[in-house]
Amino acid sequence: MTSILTTAVLAGAAGLLAATPLLAESTMRTLEQDRVLYELQERCSKDAADFFAQIRREDDRAWLDTGAGTGPEGSDSARYETGALVRYDYENNYSRNFNGCFITVKYEARWHELGSTVHAEELWDVNSHRLLGRMRIQTLPPSSASPSTTKAEPAWLPICRFADKDCDVEKWQALIKPYMQDSK
C-alpha cells in the first residue's frame, strides 16, 4: 500500500515538475504582454497630451485671426473678446481593439451676453492626426416671444458626422465607445 501511495505521489510530483516550465513560460508571456500594454498606454497618454496642446494652439490662433483674443497659455479655458468663454478638455485611450491611440477633445463655448452655447466633441486618431468624427450641439437664444406665448424656447442645432457620414447626435457616445473603452 505504501508503495502504491509513494508511486502516486512521485508521479504527481513528476507531473507538476514537468508542468512547471510551461506554467513559468505562460506567466512570463503574460507579464511581457502586460508590460508592453502599459508602455503603449503611457505613450498614448503623452502623445495625446501633446496632440491636445497642438489643437489648443491652433484653436487659439483661429480665434486670434478673427480678432477675438486668447486665453492664458496652457489653461483649460479662455475668454475671448467676442465674450465667449471656451472650456477645453480631453480623454485618451490606447485601444487594443484598434491597436491605436485615440483622443476625444471636448469644447464648450458660452456667450452669456447672447444666451448661446456650443458643446462639441471630436474623436481623433492621435497617431495619424485624423479626425474620425465630430458632434456639435448649439443652442441659440429664444427669439422674441410672440404676444400669444409667455416664453420662447431656445433653438437647438445638432450636427454629427462620423466616418464621413451623418449620424444621430443621440448615438454619439455609442459610436465613440469602441475607440475609447476596450471590452473586458
pLDDT reported for residue 158: 86
State the Cα–Cα distance between residues 88 and 71, nearest whole angstrom. Answer: 11
pTM: 0.69
- Residue 118 three-state SS: strand
What sections of 66-130 are H helices per DSSP? none
Tracing cell 479655458 back to the chain, one arrives at 77
Name all contacts of 42-49 with Cβ < 8 Å and 24+ positions apart. 43/94, 43/101, 44/92, 44/93, 44/94, 44/101, 44/126, 45/92, 47/101, 47/126, 47/127, 48/90, 48/92, 48/101, 48/103, 48/126, 49/92
Domain boundaries, the chain: 36-180
- Per residue in 149-178, pLDDT tens? 455 566 777 889 999 999 999 999 999 999
Does 85 score more than 80 pLDDT?
Answer: no
Q: pLDDT grade, residue 146 (50/70/90)? A: very low
Give the three cell numbers for residue 21.
516550465
pLDDT reported for residue 87: 85
- Per residue in 36-48, pLDDT tens? 889 999 999 999 9
Output 18 or 142, whichever has higher pLDDT: 142
Does 80 score more than 60 pLDDT?
Answer: no
For all residues of the chain together, what is the average pLDDT?
77
Average pLDDT over residues 106-121: 84
Does 68 score more than 70 pLDDT?
Answer: no
93 and 102 Cβ atoms separated by less than 8 Å = yes
Does 59 score more than 90 pLDDT?
Answer: no
Residue 106's contacts (CB-CB under 8 Å, 6 or more residues apart) are: 88, 89, 90, 91, 119, 120, 121
Average pLDDT over residues 65-93: 62
State the Cα–Cα distance between residues 164 and 151, nearest whole angstrom. Answer: 38
- Whole-angstrom CA distances from 131 to 84, 137, 161 are 25, 18, 10
Does 12 score more than 90 pLDDT?
Answer: no
